[in-house]
Amino acid sequence: MTESDLESWTESMSGRERVRHVVEVLDEPTPVQDIADRADVSRATADDELQRLRSDDWVTETTVDGTKAYDLNPVRMLFDEVTDLIESHSRDELEGQLTELKEEQEELATEYNVGSLDEFREQLVDEELSAEETRERRNAIATWEAINTELGLVKHALQLYDDVIELSSPRTDSPSSLA
């Protein structure tokens, strides 16, 4: 960050907001001091906000090299992603996404003559491939894995769709206080 970016960052966001922003982009358990440094706050401020986030179930506390560290709560992230899918898509749209994702996976399976991701990986070892062919297949494997992740999220969203819609809709069965 340049000095002007740092000034903008500290002027436009509170220290607690900066800690939350840093936490949102964590990709591994990170010690409190590293989070504090990235957020440009004191260790005490970072620790206090991380404790609050932990009590709200946004992060999990762990230890890295004997030092207290935090990571995003994967269960909370899953539920947030599923809820976002449900809130932004109709059931029909989700079913359409499911179909499209399965078609993409089937196209990869046909193109590379495999029936599963494990088979695909075995090809890397069993077949004599050039560096370019290996790179291409590794990219296709990464695509397959991404499709699997999306498939899982869409399936969860479809399974929970009715419950989430019902629970997030305002209740109309209670007597009106305006009568």
Rounded (10°) CA dihedral 99, 101, 104, 105? -110
Distance CA 6, CA 11 (A): 8
Q: What is the pLDDT of residue 120?
A: 87
Minimal CA–CA distance to 22: which of 81, 85, 1, 63?
1
For domain 3-72, give its CATH number from 3.30.56.10, 1.10.10.10, 3.40.50.300, 3.10.180.10: 1.10.10.10
Looking at every residue in the chain, the average pLDDT score rounds to 88
Taking only the tens place, the pLDDT of each residue in 100-142 is: 999 999 999 999 999 999 998 988 888 888 889 889 999 999 9
Q: What is the pLDDT of residue 177?
A: 47
Whether residue 25 has pLDDT greater than 70: yes
Tell me the mean pLDDT in the region 29-50. Answer: 95
pTM of the model: 0.67
Q: What is the pLDDT of residue 11?
A: 80
Q: What is the pLDDT of residue 179?
A: 43
Q: Domain residue spans in the chain? A: 3-72, 76-168
- Measured on CA atoms in the order 2, 45, 13, 28, is the torsion positive or negative? positive
Q: What is the pLDDT of residue 40?
A: 94
The residues, any chain, with a CB within 8 Å of residue 34's CB and separated by 6 or more, are none
Whether residue 2 has pLDDT greater than 80: no
Exposed e or buried b per residue across 59-78, where buried means at least 16 C-beta atoms within 10 angstroms of its C-beta? bbeeeeeeeebbbbbeeeee
Q: What is the pLDDT of residue 126?
A: 80
Tell me the mean pLDDT in the region 43-70. Answer: 93
Q: Evaluate whether 137 touches 123 at the Cβ level (below 8 Å).
A: yes
Q: What is the DSSP letter of 89?
A: S
> How big is the chain, counted in residues?
179
Taking only the tens place, the pLDDT of each residue in 152-177 is: 999 999 999 999 888 887 765 555 44
Phi, psi of 105 (to 5 degrees): -65, -40
The structure tokens listed for 24 are 């949102």
Exposed e or buried b per residue across 26-48, where buried means at least 16 C-beta atoms within 10 angstroms of its C-beta? beebbbbebbbebbbbeeebbbe
